[in-house]
């Protein structure tokens, strides 16, 4: 009898321990799940009193990316240095009001056409379309009210790899572009400290599309110094020379023997002031499109940036054929950013994955035309790691 009682007691003790363990595991899983929930906070009111929202994506490593539905803007993005310290590595503003003052596309989604279109016009299927000239004689980044200045519809997707899906429909004739364009952009923060951006679009009329993101990076942390010591590698053996209004001439020029050769790591500051080079003079530094050596639509490594003092490394992968490398040449100390920091000359760099600038006017460039029944679809991944 005692033996039977002991067996029963042992059985129930074991069951109690098992339940306790499972309960503790469930609590741990719940805590982990809770920590990865997407936070939503008010981000200010747009001029028509519509409320903008800020969404915070977090992964288990501690990386955080804050994105607003206003312009699909990456407002902040933390990454670890070689000591494990997470710091914000993107330029931006503390509030919606800052972005509404006309900052230079900090962290925003760009469209309907990223980069420049010559003389603000193009001809498609025999019809000429006229766009706003918002960059001298040219159209830039979608016009006076491009996708960076509209309110997107946001759908947060919680999980171990949290995501934010943004949708917007640009009307036929919006900013001069033909066709009602339905766009879907999804930001996904992955377990390996990457931010993946998936772009998708369809149209009801032939149009041109070239979507990208315009994040300004400074991997040093603190966002209060220039990026001239950052080392850059671009997997591109050609670039697009431009005229004095930064419109491509149509030539694909080899980078070999020029200040545009980043096929091996070079500090940005090493040749950026080489005014003997006409292209450096035209761009006031680097503000050009590099043609990737791998022109396929596969996801491939396009660029690597290393900041020696912090050890931060940024790798950019894309399905696009080109990348615009811009070194903050037009930052001039007139913009006050996050935390009251004044953004001075070359305080940030951009790596905008895309098709070629002015493609609608240059038949030899890869086409950016999207027709009804087709789906525009591209992906870009920004991956962070540390070099100790």
Phi, psi for 22 (deg, rounded to 5): -65, -40
| Radius of gyration, alpha carbons of the chain | 24
Tell me which residue has tokens 């947060």: 156
214 carries an active-site annotation: yes
Structure tokens at 388: 């100790």
Contact 231, 306 (CB under 8 A): yes
β-strand partners of 38: none
Cβ burial, residue 12 (10 Å; 0-12/13-18/19+): exposed
Q: Which of 174, 230, 352, 355 is labelled catalytic?
A: 352
CA triplet 113, 119, 125: central angle to 5 degrees? 65
In the chain, how long is the greatest CA-to-CA distance?
100
What percent helix, strand, coil does the chain show, rounded to 5? 15, 40, 45
Q: Which of 141, 214, 288, 355 is labelled catalytic?
A: 214
β-strand partners of 234: 303
User: Is the torsion defined by CA of 294, 297, 298, 303 positive or negative?
Assistant: positive
The Cα-based distances of 222 to 193, 217, 318, 328 in angstroms read: 19, 11, 28, 16
296-303: Cβ within 8 A, 24+ apart: 299/379, 299/381, 300/235, 301/235, 302/234, 302/235, 302/236, 302/351, 302/353, 303/232, 303/233, 303/234, 303/235, 303/351
3-state secondary structure of 333: coil
DSSP classification of residue 341: -
Tell me which residue has tokens 């419109």: 247
Tell me which residue has tokens 């913009």: 335
The residues annotated with a catalytic role in the active site are 214, 352
């Amino acid at each position: 009898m005692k033996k039977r009682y002991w067996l029963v007691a042992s059985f129930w003790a074991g069951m109690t321990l098992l339940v306790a363990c499972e309960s503790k595991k469930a609590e741990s899983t719940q805590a982990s799940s809770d920590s990865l929930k997407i936070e939503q906070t008010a981000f200010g009111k747009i001029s028509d009193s519509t409320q903008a929202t800020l969404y915070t994506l977090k992964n288990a490593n501690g990386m955080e990316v804050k994105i607003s539905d206003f312009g699909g803007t990456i407002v902040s993005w933390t990454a670890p240095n070689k000591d494990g310290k997470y710091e914000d590595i993107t330029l931006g503003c503390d509030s919606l009001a800052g972005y509404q003052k006309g900052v230079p596309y900090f962290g925003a989604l760009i469209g309907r056409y990223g980069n420049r279109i010559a003389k603000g016009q193009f001809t498609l299927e025999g019809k000429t379309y006229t766009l706003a000239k918002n960059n001298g004689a040219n159209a830039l980044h979608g016009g006076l009210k491009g996708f960076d200045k509209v309110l997107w519809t946001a759908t947060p997707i919680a999980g171990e790899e949290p995501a934010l899906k943004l949708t917007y429909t640009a009307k036929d004739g919006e900013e001069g572009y033909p066709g009602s364009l339905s766009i879907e952009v999804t930001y996904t923060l992955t377990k390996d400290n990457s931010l993946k951006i998936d772009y998708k679009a369809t149209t009801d009329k032939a149009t041109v599309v070239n979507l990208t993101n315009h994040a300004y990076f400074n991997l040093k942390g603190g966002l209060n110094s220039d990026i001239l010591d950052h080392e850059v590698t671009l997997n591109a053996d050609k670039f697009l020379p431009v005229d004095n209004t930064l419109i491509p001439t149509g030539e694909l020029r080899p980078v070999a023997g020029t200040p545009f050769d980043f096929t091996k790591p070079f500090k940005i500051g090493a040749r950026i002031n080489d005014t003997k080079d006409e292209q450096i003079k035209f761009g006031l530094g680097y503000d050009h499109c590099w043609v990737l050596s791998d022109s396929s639509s596969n996801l491939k490594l396009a660029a690597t940036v290393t900041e020696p003092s912090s050890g931060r490394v940024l790798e950019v992968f894309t399905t696009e054929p080109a990348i615009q490398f811009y070194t903050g040449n037009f930052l001039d100390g007139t913009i006050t950013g996050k935390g009251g920091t004044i953004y001075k000359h070359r305080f940030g760099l951009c790596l905008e994955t895309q098709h070629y600038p002015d493609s609608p006017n240059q038949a030899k460039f890869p086409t950016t035309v999207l027709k009804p029944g087709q789906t525009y679809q591209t992906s870009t991944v920004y991956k962070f790691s540390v070099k100790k």
